[in-house]
Amino acid sequence: MAFYVVQFLTGLASAASLFLVASGLSIIFGVTRIVNFAHGAFYMIGAYIAFTLTERFSGAFGFWGGVVAAALAVALIGVLVEMVLLRRIYHAPELFQLLGTFGLTLMVEDLVVLIWGPDDLVGRRAPGFKGAVDFFGQNIPSYDLFLIVLGPVVLGILWLLFQRTRWGVLVRAATQDRDMVAALGVNQKWLFTSVFAVGVFLAALGGALQIPRDAVHHAMDLRIIVEVFVVVVIGGLGSIVGAFVAAVLVSELNAFGILIFPKISIILVFLVMAVVLIVRPWGLFGKPEAAARKTPGLTVNPWRPLTSNERLASLAALVIAAMLPLFAGNYALTVGSEIAIFVIFAVSLHFLMSVGGLASFGHAAYFGLGAYGVAFLAKMAGLPMIVCLLLGPLLGCMGAAVFGFFAVQLSGVYFAMLTLAFAQIVWSIAFQWVSVTGGDNGILGVWPASWAASPSHFYWLALGVAALVTIALRIAVFSPFGYALRATRDSVLRSEAVGINAKRIQWTAFVIAGTTAGIGGALFAYLKGSVFPDNLGISLSVDALVMVLLGGVETVSGGVVGAIVYKALNIWLVSQTDLSKLVLGGFIVLIVVVFPKGIVGMLEILAQRRRKSSPPGSSLLAKPIESAE
């Protein structure tokens, strides 16, 4: 019995640190609607700075002072980030801020290694909380008891802050309806800055308090960020109490789950999240989001198909791309194939995200399923390449059909997180089911047949498929189905009022996007000759998001351009510099600031301006990119 009590208390201690970080994220999202990917980075910087301070100043005052000072210092950094970077992009399309904070995260990961060195750092134990307390023969670390008390105390302070201060009232009001708060004359700028500072302070405090338990190292951010998102979503976005309950729920399930299924902790949070979201679409303590007041047609420029000149220009670009094997070497061709495959992947997500308004955080699942489909068919059934390429993507299609059915019942960030949960479940199956998938050692030897083996042939194959897929999806965008899908994106209520079955349309779009991603994955398996669980992983899903956002989420060609720019840049930077994350992150941040509508979005604006200042006709020479007229 004592054991179960101790296990419960241990779970509570784990929950406390999770809650600190999650509550910060929840507040920030509630008010600013920013999906703050950099929250883990702030957590990590908090730990690093606290490590430095507590090493320098010893004693109880040095330790606790160092922890608080570190959190304050990081909060200041947060203020700086908010004022310099985020303020410029609040009006960018939804989720675009994710791109900026993603860039920041990349930069921080390289910066901490530059500043603090590559070794894992182990900080001091907390003065006064070094030992353990005996509980009927079981030991509970006294620091755990401290954390168990701290969690509810922070919850209480936050509650008082939100219920009993004017600032708290404003924050709650903004969480509920920030347009109305702005209309009532509240200075949103400073409200947002202060909220961001409080959120970052909590993250950094959570990081600093890990020093006595954890090692400080450069991958701490990724270790926590996804879990924290999950906790926030299970609890309900913007709900502090929800975050607390969810943190306790997840930690306790983990503490007791490993007694029965020792391997469960790898997937547990995602299983819980999937179940919670299916049963309660807005999390345990969340409320349905108020209907958005955006006016369709003002936020998004109407789309139009390419003009015949633009079609010719696109065709010319394709022909030029197809001539690459005449003057480029094998490596350039293989990179070209990889870029073409990522164009397919990005275009498929773009179809879901830009046309359907459904941002998936787990799109790599269908890419990876396509790749695994090919690998199973080629290695187990021994089918020829062409058959594998045709049938492999069906696995992606089936996955999308099943998961999409549940996912489209939700919208917004909840949709995104449910897709993430499904992707993680698929990933963990690929990771754990060693006898079938080979686990993380993957499936090797999926090489192309001789007709496609040479780099130039494979490049033509990939380029051809990418072109076909892009054209097909463009046709879909401007077909009646595409119009219906865009209608559901712009206003679910109005589209249902005119008789569109929104859920079915969205589900169909999900399946189309998943199948298309599967086609990309099938080609990818042959390009690399092997398939790994990485192909379904979070980082690939994030890459796809970044590509679409970079290209421009409100444009028709954003996926294509974003994929080419991001993938080419990524491959080139990794090959050329040791600090690829710092440089790539810096570049992304720069793009976010300079092109708040993405690359294509910005080019459209430029083209529009030029057209206004120059006589009509000259604009026909403009690049074959979607124009905003």
Q: How far is the CB of 332 from other proteins (least distance, A)?
A: 6
Q: How far is the CB of 211 from other proteins (least distance, A)?
A: 10
Strand, coil or helix: what is 184?
coil
Non-local (6+) Cβ contacts of 479 within 8 A are: none
Region of 127-135, 362-370, 401-409, 545-553 interacting with other proteins (CB under 8 A): 127-135
Residue 574 found at the interface with other proteins (CB under 8 A): yes
**Contact residue for other proteins among 76, 321, 322, 332 (CB under 8 A):** 332
**Contact residue for other proteins among 33, 218, 474, 486 (CB under 8 A):** 218
By rule CB under 8 A, what count of residues binds other proteins? 80
**Distance of alpha carbon 364 from alpha carbon 511, whole angstroms:** 14
**Contact residue for other proteins among 72, 76, 79, 140 (CB under 8 A):** 140
Among positions 227-266, residues that touch other proteins (CB under 8 A) are: 227, 251, 254-255, 258-259, 262-263, 265-266
The vertex-418 CA angle with 413 and 424, nearest 5°, equals 125
Nearer to other proteins, 302 or 445 (CB): 445
Strand, coil or helix: what is 216?
strand
Among positions 586-605, residues that touch other proteins (CB under 8 A) are: none
Q: How far is the CB of 572 from other proteins (least distance, A)?
A: 7
Q: How far is the CB of 526 from other proteins (least distance, A)?
A: 11
CA gyration radius, the chain? 25
Residue 440 found at the interface with other proteins (CB under 8 A): yes
Residue 144 found at the interface with other proteins (CB under 8 A): yes
Nearer to other proteins, 413 or 519 (CB): 519
Residue 565 found at the interface with other proteins (CB under 8 A): no
Residue 6 found at the interface with other proteins (CB under 8 A): yes
The residue behind tokens 């991603």 is: 517
Residue 424 found at the interface with other proteins (CB under 8 A): no
Among positions 103-122, residues that touch other proteins (CB under 8 A) are: 109-110, 113, 118-122
| Contact (CB, 8 A) for 543 and 559 | no
Residue 280 found at the interface with other proteins (CB under 8 A): no
Nearer to other proteins, 320 or 621 (CB): 320
Q: Which has the closest alpha carbon to 305: 132, 479, 164, 448?
A: 479
Element (DSSP H or E) covering residue 138? strand 138-141
Q: How far is the CB of 528 from other proteins (least distance, A)?
A: 5
Q: How far is the CB of 7 from other proteins (least distance, A)?
A: 5
Kindly compute the dihedral angle of the four CA atoms of residues 172, 174, 177, 179, in this order, to the nearest 10 degrees: 160
- Which pair of tokens denotes residue 520? 């990309």
Phi/psi at 504 (5° precision): -70, -40
CA atoms 332, 334, 339, 343: torsion sign: positive
Q: How far is the CB of 432 from other proteins (least distance, A)?
A: 8
Q: How far is the CB of 5 from other proteins (least distance, A)?
A: 11
Region of 299-307, 390-398, 478-486, 579-587 interacting with other proteins (CB under 8 A): 579-587
Region of 353-361, 427-435, 472-480, 613-621 interacting with other proteins (CB under 8 A): 427-435
Residue 569 found at the interface with other proteins (CB under 8 A): no
Nearer to other proteins, 341 or 509 (CB): 341
CA 600 to chain centre: 21
**Distance of alpha carbon 206 from alpha carbon 200, whole angstroms:** 10
Residue 309 found at the interface with other proteins (CB under 8 A): no
CA 350 to chain centre: 14
Residue 39 found at the interface with other proteins (CB under 8 A): no
CA 307 to chain centre: 34
The residue behind tokens 């809650």 is: 19
Nearer to other proteins, 192 or 524 (CB): 524
- Which pair of tokens denotes residue 402? 């099943």
**Distance of alpha carbon 466 from alpha carbon 471, whole angstroms:** 9
Q: Which has the closest alpha carbon to 514: 404, 616, 595, 594?
A: 404
